[in-house]
Amino acid sequence: MSRSIVRQSKFRHVFGQAVKAEQGYDDIRVSKVTWDSSFCAVNPKFLAVIIESSGGGAFLVLPLSKSGRVDKNYPLVIGHSGPVLDIDWCPHDDNILASCSEDCTAMVWQIPDHALTRPLSDPVVVLEGHSKRVGIVTWHPTARNILLTAGSDNLIIVWNVGTGEPLLSMDDHPDLIYSISWNRNGSLFCTTCKDRRLRVCDPRKREVVAERLAPHEGIRPMRAIFTRDGNIFTTGFTRMSQRELGLWDPTNFEEPIALLELDTSNGVLLPYYDADANMVYLCGKGDSSIRYFEITEEPPYVHYLSTFSSKEPQRGMGFMPKRGVDVSKCEIARLYKLLDKKCEPITMTVPRKSDLFQDDLYPDTAGPEPAMEAEEWLDGRDEDPILVSMRDGYVPPKSRELKVAKKNVLDSRPTTRRSMSTLETNSLPVNTGDVYVLWSST
């Protein structure tokens, strides 16, 4: 008699759980604009949500600690003259946020550490270069002050926000760009387009280095993200409008590494990737569930783990960077689910009995320090993210001012970096050699 062998994985029993009602964020008028972005961005300090507003575009920025009901007169960020379509927190400064809008501009904002006391209408820099609405904004993962924007003019522009000037642009896409994702070191990015092609682009050479026609045969929008191994994970639709996911090797686009049909639904599946655990969370707009998968080197390569289900459909989703999760509760991911009138945090937890730090769940993760300057990246240098330890929990650094200078060099002063060995030495417990004596009375 044959016996089935269960696949060994430390993430096989990950479960999702919504936080208590008082820990959510209520009375938020989530935007109703018809655009397939996540409408939400989150980091270890702040939650940002694109909201419905009259007379232009606005979004709400809340400190994570300010849970509960949001006052209807709470100050907003109101610089755009058209609806805001996408927002993204800078990975190297938790107080810097980029936004883009139907008004054909992208803007970069400096958010103060305390809660806003009046509406914020003055961005640090305005990026004007698109002739139609700007629908995608995404930061470079390792270089300081590099920001990518894509618009309905089918143009991709890479900016240095320290100077407020465009560094390079690409016009290789003949139709609307659906999604853009940088690889781990920021040397390449992948795009999906309305012409049904998946492309891998080298921005500094201004060329498409690989492309695949119709990784998913359906005509509905696709999404694509780079994994840490350099493969590309995609979501799309079959010819019969079934939702589908795929894993591809960009050096050999002929056959997929994995292709898996899911269900029949209209909502575009937005993938959120955890590079440390090599897990993908799939959130469909209009769905009331979050599916999660693990990517491995063994067949079938993409392993279904479980589904978190709730009663209300989601309007959007935010994904917390790994340095913002609670390591003491074995939390490996936190998603912020947007509903019609509120935002509900959802924790993803690995069940463990021990209260000790779990080394296998928390490898060193990408920290807030940039690995290089904008000019170094433009000159052809590639660097992986600078990693930090999760052992003692994450303490957000003090905010830094973003200085914008209208010149080609960002800053003349050298950046100081501490070596990892110094950080690790400082974080070790000190043995004082104290002796404790127990007295007993006779």
What are 105-163's pLDDT values in tens digits?
999 999 999 889 999 999 999 999 999 999 999 999 999 999 999 999 999 999 999 99
Over residues 309-331, mean pLDDT? 94
Q: What is the 3-state secondary structure (H, E, C) of the chain?
A: CCCCCCCCCCCCCCEEEECCHHHCEECCCECCCCCCCCCEEECCCEEEEEECCCCCCEEEEEECCCCEECCCCCCCECCCCCCEEEEEECCCCCCEEEEEECCCEEEEEECCCCCCCCCECCCCEEEECCCCCEEEEEECCCECCEEEEEECCCCEEEEECCCCEEEEEECCCCCCEEEEEECCCCCCEEEEECCCEEEEEECCCCEEEEEEECCCCCCCCCEEEECCCCCEEEEEECCCCEEEEEEEECCECCCCCEEEEEEECCCCEEEEEECCCCEEEEEECCCCEEEEEEECCCCCCEEEEEEEECCCCCCEEEECCHHHCCHHHCEEEEEEEECCCEEEEEEEECCCCCCCCCCCCCCCEECCCCCECHHHHHCCCCCCCCEECCCCCCCCCCCCCCCCCCCCCCCCCCCCCCCHHHHHHHCCCCCCCCCCCCCCCC
What are 353-408's pLDDT values in tens digits?
887 889 999 999 999 999 999 999 999 999 999 999 998 775 556 666 777 776 55
Counting residues of the chain whose pLDDT is more than 70, the rounded percentage is 89
363: nearest Cα among 330, 383, 332, 390: 390
What are 58-114's pLDDT values in tens digits?
999 999 999 999 999 999 999 999 999 999 999 999 999 999 999 999 999 999 998
> What is the predicted pLDDT for the residue at 217?
95
> What is the predicted pLDDT for the residue at 433?
45
> What is the predicted pLDDT for the residue at 407?
59
> What is the predicted pLDDT for the residue at 418?
44
316: nearest Cα among 28, 72, 19: 28
Over residues 229-256, mean pLDDT? 96
Please classify residue 174 by burial: count the beta carbons closer than 10 Å to its beta carbon, then call 0-12 exposed, 13-18 middle and 19+ buried: exposed
Tokens in use for 282?
A: 């799939």
> What is the predicted pLDDT for the residue at 396?
58
pLDDT surpasses 70 at 286:
yes
User: Greater confidence, 115 or 329?
Assistant: 329
pLDDT band (50, 70, 90) for residue 411? low
> What is the predicted pLDDT for the residue at 431?
46
